[in-house]
Structure 1
């Protein structure tokens, strides 16, 4: 048994698709696949006009089945013939024998919650207008579509915060939905441009626009906005069709690559976090060293201030007192000493020198007398 969603492409403005698979109440050797497609007709502004669910049962194998299919019974019709579909307690009931393959199809009104919502905004010559105001008008038309994945539920998830610690957080989790929206603009729409669409001709003079939607994070976004601009004459509202289905990102080759990329990014993020922690530890050491250096500089500043204060308050006044003492006492004494020295010198020259001369003369006379008497 498989679970899948198929797309339906019909609608005045858009069509939304959903599929569920149900197991039969009793299945001998019969595989049962139940595919449900929700087709929604919307008004030009995106409001729901009517919704129907197409149910298809594929039975393969040999044996008897007693299947109770929980579908809406309002407006229930058999699409394989004119016979009625049996119902019990608000469920479609199928009891049959299978030998090979069988297929049963029904359609009924859809009353459940739609997985997607659509809104449309129209601007004519820059002014927001209703859809009916575009009909028959000319000018520059801008159309913006907004598609939202409405399946989000808040759940508690657990993950590694990058440091080896598992943490929990409440996050919004969505059913992975992907889809395409297509619209064909008539030949009266010229100078068509779009920043989001793949554009091409339709072979009849019109322009076909296709938008690819990935409506779940982190690969895409649960809410996407896109559109086009065109110059119109005798304006109309072109039909647009939205087909969407849930996917399994891990099984889809298209999205598995993106998932692998995110896993690699997570691993790189963990390594980056570990490296950042090492850097943070070194920065803490650097911070502590800077704090020590700052403390030393503060002490040096305080010592310099104390030295400056001591020089200003004590050494400088003492130097001034020393200078005053030298100028007021020592210098005059030095002048008196010089005067006394000059007087001493003059006394030596005026008195001692003549006496020395007389002494020398007397010594000469004594020598002569001794010579004459001692030496005949």
Structure 2
């Protein structure tokens, strides 16, 4: 009886309890408060096939709940799952209703099948140069090439593609040989090599990894997409643009200096041309003088022989002596003196022309700067960013001008010695001419006032004159030999002057080209600071995403989204495992067996 009462009471309690609980739930439902969320984070997980085809996507949502209560979230989910506690989530269309406690609340939403990620990823494989399907790769040997192509998926909001940085990574065992990854970073990671690439926001990339493999297996490609956090420090940009302004101004001054150099080299070339022309006239005069030396020596020799014959022919008996031939001797001497005077005048004219040409050349070459440019200064000029071709021309012109200055310095002694030599030779020739005229005058006077009684004295005088004339003739021969040597030596000097003129001509052409180059460089760099600032601004707008505000990937209705990240992974390529023996199926347990097992 007692047992039946207990059973009735228990049965009544069981009947009443659900009604009581329902009533309590209804009351609780009526007084449920609205929750408050400080922020929300989304981590989007996407799995791809080995060649990059999208398999499935799910999102782990993290809610920072400031006040417990009912919270509404949005997303195009096929199913949702509570990851925080055992309470159920209420999903109506694209709205998820959850009763969240204070603190962090996590739930997972599996995206609809038509959802896509912001990037179009393609992975292809080549074995020994031949493209191979992923199903045929496991266990293969040879040279493998893995290509990863990333570009924008135009079916998805471009905000992620334009503002997110991709970190693409994959692992290969250390047993693989000759691992190469252009544009990638290779690092040791335990028994593997970790290869990492970075893809900047808004950029399409073609990445590749190569290796010699044996028994090939691959863990897949992992891609992490996060907002680009590369803020660019512009605090030093002003200094940089100021430096560029200084460089631009320096190039402008260089262009002006090269223009002055062009004028100076043109004057140098003109002076060298005048020197060459004067030297050519001098050379021709020397050659003519040298050519007439033989006649001059021959004439002098004839005079000397004539004097000897006259001296021998004078008889002891003066009555038998014919003096008609002797009277012709003064005229011959005067003609010879006349020739020497003309030669002296030619040498004086040559000396004057040489002096003018030499002064012009010396003044021009002295204006070439003697300062030496060091190798370090030339290297700094190359490193300054100036056009290398223009710098090459500048260096070549500098070397050529220094070579001209050095050559001139070496031969300047020869140039300096020419003018005194010309003065000395001209004076000597003029002196010989005066001596001959004096001899002719004396001889003529002697013949006019001579009588037969004075023939003995004339005979003695002619003997003395003949002897002195031999000395004069020896001096004349030495003079003509000197003229010959001077003519030969000056021929070589003139060749050097001609070469010098050719060098100054090439220098003028080179400096002209250099000025064209510096002018072009000046035109290209005069706006360099402004252009640089534009490029800096462009780079900042392209890569500085520090002002980017996160937006929800799953729904534009979600607010207070603080972070959205993507984790994308392709499936592995593995050799199939050997089949294991199937276990015998266990007998299904009933409700009471399962309940009792909880207490065991």
* TM-score normalized by the length of structure 1: 0.49
More helix as a share of residues: 2
More strand as a share of residues: 1
Flag the structure with more relative contact order, 1 or 2, with Cα contacts below 8 A and sequence separation at least 6. 2
* TM-score normalized by the length of structure 2: 0.32
